[in-house]
Amino acid sequence: MTHPTLPHAGADAGCRPRPGKVWLVGAGPGDPELLTLKAARLIAQADAIVYDHLVGDGIVTLARPGARLIYAGKEASRHTLPQARINAMLARLARENLAVVRLKGGDPFIFGRGGEELEALAAAGIPFEVVPGVTAATGCAAYAGFPLTHRDHARMLTFVTGHLKHGNADLDWLALARPGQTVVFYMGVAAAEDIARSLIAHGLPADTPVAVVRQGTLKTQETLFTRLADFPAHLRETKIEPPALIVVGSVVGLHEKLCWFP
């Protein structure tokens, strides 16, 4: 039996990436095997790779010999390069007639500043392409043993950043405390006290299940299962540090029968 050949998506799919262009690539939540085929191909063929702190070990090593590897990671209160310099560097590398991969942990359009970087490239007249990745919420939940949505628990899913651009954490707590949903906080460990207090104050039950996941999908994954009222104290006791993902909702309780990852 013969099988039809699937068409490639994008003008550059299946061939060496053309120079003078930037690919914004999602590296997934950590495990290199969760890379998309397109992401792995572009990483292996790029002339230059500008990568972030949250890109998993073993992913950058897929780069070809001779490729430029440029670290542009951002950690809490410690930025290797300001965002404006990263934007300018991407444009400069493309103007050097290089095929550039901008490699970001998770998905570049989910709290990854991917949109900001593409705006800068568009303003500079630099061609670009986006390769989505498995976002941290999807990967961490799957490897922690619970779904993010479920007909009996959550028919809505909300992603929230706990670290806003101008330091403003004035979120719509009434909406976030509504029943029947799962709320995922990115970059929220430092705001754990505010998250718990505000959600309870706006009506979410104090015994709502909470999961905190660090280094999700890796062998070093750390997972804390607790309840809303207790999770700030338990977070301090376990000394789980950022970056970590916080998931709030009754779906978290399903890990007791769905957990599969050791």
Alpha-carbon gap, residue 139 to 55, rounded angstroms: 14
Model confidence band, residue 7 (pLDDT cutoffs 50, 70, 90)? very low
Shared-domain flag, residues 180 and 78: no
pLDDT at 60 over 70: yes
Model confidence band, residue 191 (pLDDT cutoffs 50, 70, 90)? very high
Mark whether 107 is an active-site residue.
no
What pLDDT does residue 29 have? 96
Choosing from 111, 131, 151, the residue where a domain stops is: 131
Counted domains in the chain:
2
Which of residues 189 and 10 earns the better pLDDT score? 189
The answer as to whether 11 is a domain residue is: no
The answer as to whether 12 is a domain residue is: no
Closest by Cα among 196, 191, 18, 198 to 99: 18
Is 112 strand, coil or helix? Answer: coil
The answer as to whether 104 is a domain residue is: yes
Tally Cβ neighbours within 10 Å of residue 44. Answer: 12
Looking at this protein, which amino acid is placed at residue 249?
Answer: G
The answer as to whether 163 is a domain residue is: yes
Q: Report pLDDT digits (tens) over 34-59.
A: 999 999 999 999 999 999 999 988 99
The answer as to whether 3 is a domain residue is: no
Model confidence band, residue 108 (pLDDT cutoffs 50, 70, 90)? very high
Choosing from 131, 154, 180, the residue where a domain stops is: 131
Model confidence band, residue 116 (pLDDT cutoffs 50, 70, 90)? very high
Q: Which two tokens stand for residue 144?
A: 């922690």
Q: Which of 12, 31, 52, 107 is catalytic?
A: 52
Min mean pLDDT across 65-74, 131-140, 160-169, 207-216 is at 160-169
Shared-domain flag, residues 145 and 115: no
What pLDDT does residue 170 have? 78
What is the span of the domain harbouring residue 53? 21-131
Question: φ, ψ for residue 224 (rounded to 5)?
Answer: -115, 125
Q: Do residues 199 and 175 make contact, with C-beta atoms less than 8 angstroms apart?
A: no
pLDDT at 12 over 80: no
Closest by Cα among 141, 147, 56, 142 to 103: 56
Alpha-carbon gap, residue 38 to 188, rounded angstroms: 31
What pLDDT does residue 169 have? 59
What pLDDT does residue 17 have? 80
Q: Which parts of the chain are beta strand (E)?
A: 21-26, 48-51, 68-71, 74-75, 78-79, 99-104, 128-131, 156-161, 181-186, 209-214, 222-227, 244-248
Share of the chain above pLDDT 70, in %: 89
Triad 8, 9, 13: Cα angle to 5°: 65
Model confidence band, residue 75 (pLDDT cutoffs 50, 70, 90)? low
Mark whether 74 is an active-site residue.
yes
Q: Which of 74, 165, 194, 219 is catalytic?
A: 74
Shared-domain flag, residues 122 and 151: no
pLDDT at 89 over 60: yes
Choosing from 131, 156, 180, the residue where a domain stops is: 131
The answer as to whether 2 is a domain residue is: no
Please list, in sequence order, all residues whose beta carbon lies within 8 angstroms of the beta carbon of residue 73, skipping any fewer than 6 positions away.
51, 52, 53, 54, 80
pTM for the whole structure: 0.89
Shared-domain flag, residues 166 and 246: yes
Min mean pLDDT across 15-19, 126-130, 226-230 is at 15-19
CA–centroid distance for 164 within its chain: 15
Model confidence band, residue 11 (pLDDT cutoffs 50, 70, 90)? very low
